[in-house]
A and B are shown apart, each in its own frame.
Chain A
Amino acid sequence: MEFWKDPQEAVTAILKLHEEVAKDPELSEGMKKVNQLILYDYTESGPGCAVWVDARGGKLEFGAGDPPGTPDLVMSLSADDAHRSWSDKLNPVMAITRKKIRVKGSATGLLKLAPKLKKVAAVYIQVLKDLGMEDKIIK
Chain B
Amino acid sequence: MKYPELSFEPFFSWVNRSRIMYSPGLRSEVGYEMAQLGGTRAVIFTDKGLVDAGVAGMVVEAVEKSDLALAGVFDGILQDARIDLINEGARFYREKGADCLIAVGGGSVMDTAKAINILIGDGLDDFAPLAAQAALWDGAKPLPPHIAFPTTAGTGCEITNAMVVLDTEAHAKLQVTHPFCNSDIAMLDPELTLKLPAKITAFTGMDALTHAIEGVTSNNAEPIADALGFHAIRMICRYLPVAVREPDNVDARGNMLLASTIAGMCFVNAMTGAVHALAHTLGALHGIPHGLANAIMLPHVMAFNLEERPDRFMMVADAMGIPVDGKEPIEAGRLAVQAVKALLKEVGLTQTLKDFGVPGEREGLQPLVDLASGDGQISYNPRYVEEEDIINLYLKAR
Contact = CB atoms under 8 A, between A and B. Distances in A.
Contact of A94 (B13, B131, B373, B376): B13
A103 B13 contact: no
Contacts of B379: 92, 114-115, 117
B201 to A, nearest CB: 31
A97 B129 contact: no
Contacts of B15: 97
B134 A111 contact: yes
A102 interface: yes
Interface in A58-106: 91-94, 96-99, 101-106
B137 interface: yes
Interface residues of A, number: 23
B224 to A, nearest CB: 14
A103 B130 CA distance: 11
Contact of B385 (A93, A101, A115): A115
Contacts of A111: 134, 374, 376
Contact of B137 (A97, A106, A108, A112): A97
Contacts of A108: 131-132, 134, 172, 174
Nearest to A96: B135
A99 B174 contact: no
A92 to B, nearest CB: 8
B261 interface: no
A113 interface: yes
B177 interface: yes
B179 interface: yes
A85 to B, nearest CB: 12
B133 A103 contact: yes
A96 B177 contact: yes
B63 interface: no
A112 B131 CA distance: 14
A129 interface: no
A60 B220 CA distance: 33
Interface size class of B (residues with CB under 8 A): 20 to 34
A99 B132 contact: no
B132 A104 contact: no
Contacts of B375: 115
Interface string B60-104: 000000000000000000000000000000000000000000000
A105 B132 CA distance: 7
A25 to B, nearest CB: 14
A103 B374 contact: no
B220 A91 contact: yes
B116 interface: no
A107 B135 contact: yes
Given A91-B9, A94-B13, A115 B374 contact: yes
Contact of B13 (A98, A104, A107, A114): A98
A123 B394 CA distance: 30
Contacts of B384: 118
Given A103-B138, A111-B376, A97 B132 contact: no
A17 to B, nearest CB: 19
Nearest to B170: A108
Contact of B129 (A92, A106, A113, A115): A106
Given A106-B132, A107-B132, A108-B134, A94 B12 contact: yes
Contacts of B256: none
Given A105-B133, A106-B129, A112-B374, A97 B177 contact: yes
Contacts of A118: 384
Interface in A110-130: 111-115, 117-118
Interface string B106-148: 0000000000000000000000010111110110000000000
A117 to B, nearest CB: 7
B263 interface: no
Of the candidates B137, B174, B177, the one having the most CB atoms from chain A within 10 angstroms of its own CB is B137
A99 B138 contact: yes
Closest 9 CB pairs of A and B: A112-B374, A106-B132, A102-B138, A96-B135, A107-B134, A103-B135, A115-B378, A115-B379, A108-B132
Contacts of A98: 13
